[in-house]
Amino acid sequence: MAFSSFSAFLAMGGHAPYVWAAWGVTALLMIASVGHARMERRLLIRDLKRRARRETTRPLPSTSTAPNSLQASHTDDT
Amino acid sequence: MWTFIHKWGSPKWFYSMSGKLQPWFWTVSLLLIAVGTLWGLAFAPADYQQGNSFRIIYVHVPAAFLAQSIFVSMAAAALVFMVWKIKIADMAATVMAPLGAVMTFVALFSGAVWGVPTWGTWWMWDARLTSMLILLFLFLGVIALRSAFTSRDSGSRAASVLAMVGVINIPIIKYSVDWWFTLHQPATFRVTSSPSMPTEMWLPLLIMVLGFYCFFIALTLMRTRSEILRREANKRWVMDLMKEAH
């Protein structure tokens, strides 16, 4: 341990504003990046599920929505 | 080898494999960053010249390393996309750019904050600082260019070209401290020699760097998976997947 007490740790030998600003912004942005990725995935899946449900409950006259999806089932496009 | 590339280039295969790999990278990244943070902030000895402000190194250096590596990865993905038309590569390049911009910002911000007690200034038009600022603009440029086209394919190609051309900035960042030695000190770590720092100072730094890299891999896998679902929304396998899940 490089500090004698918790308050000494917080004070960072007088460099507290610099150390905590740099670490704080880094932590904040990394946590926000993860939060954004989770939100993105959740919203997307909610949308796609709604779409899939619409398809199963109400089979549309296959001309209007997603005509290519039925044919493209096994095309392996790389 | 070709079947390997072919498999990983298939969105469906990539989606399922990356789903299995992802938790491992999150776990390892969290562990490394937790250990590195505790060690770097509380246990590593204070620097004899800079005191405790040197603890900024544990976020500054990993972020700066990662920012440059993300740009190189993005340019490599762009090259793969342009040469072999592998869509996964373009999706990966798409999701890498914002994190690259974030990491570049973190490196610049933590450097500026560190500069105040150490150099007496938060900014100077020093070669290293300027080339990092250019890196930030390159990331933002790639993001903007991609969204500037109505056709996704045109946007992808334009962003790929900028990424491949912009990679020239990376060696400039690396050698800037040797070519124009103005403010920023030369690299503390070199592959060829042992570090000029005591072990209890550089080991937590190494742990943080590895943790940041794992974080990048985990986040890229996660966001590439979302990008796959978005772009393949009309494909049969995505629809089936969405029907299965409740």
- Give the tens place of pLDDT for each residue, B64-119: 999 999 999 999 999 999 999 999 999 999 999 999 999 999 999 999 999 988 88
Contacts of B51 in chain A (CB under 8 A): 13-15
- Sign for the pseudo-dihedral over CA of B94, B71, B59, B39: positive
* Host H or E run for residue B37: helix B11-38
pTM to 2 decimal places: 0.88
Domain layout of chain A by residue ranges: 32-56
> Is the CB of A34 less than 8 angstroms away from the CB of B219?
yes
Are the beta carbons of B236 and A70 separated by less than 8 Å? yes
* B63/A41 Cβ within 8 A: no
CATH of B23-43+52-187+195-244, one of 1.20.120, 1.10.10, 1.10.12, 2.60.40: 1.20.120
Burial of B185 (0-12, 13-18, 19+ CB in 10 A): exposed
pLDDT tier at B121, thresholds 50, 70, 90: confident
Q: Which of B48, B54, B113, B201 to mutate to test the interface with A (most CBs of A within 10 A)?
A: B113
Question: How many residue contacts between A and B have a Cβ separation below 8 Å?
Answer: 121
pLDDT the model gives residue B170: 93
Segment B161-170 shows an average pLDDT of 95
B110 CA: distance to closest CA in chain A (Å) = 5
**Cβ of B3 under 8 Å from any chain A Cβ?**
no
List, in order, residues 6 or more apart from B224 with CB less than 8 Å away: B14, B18, B88, B91, B92, B95
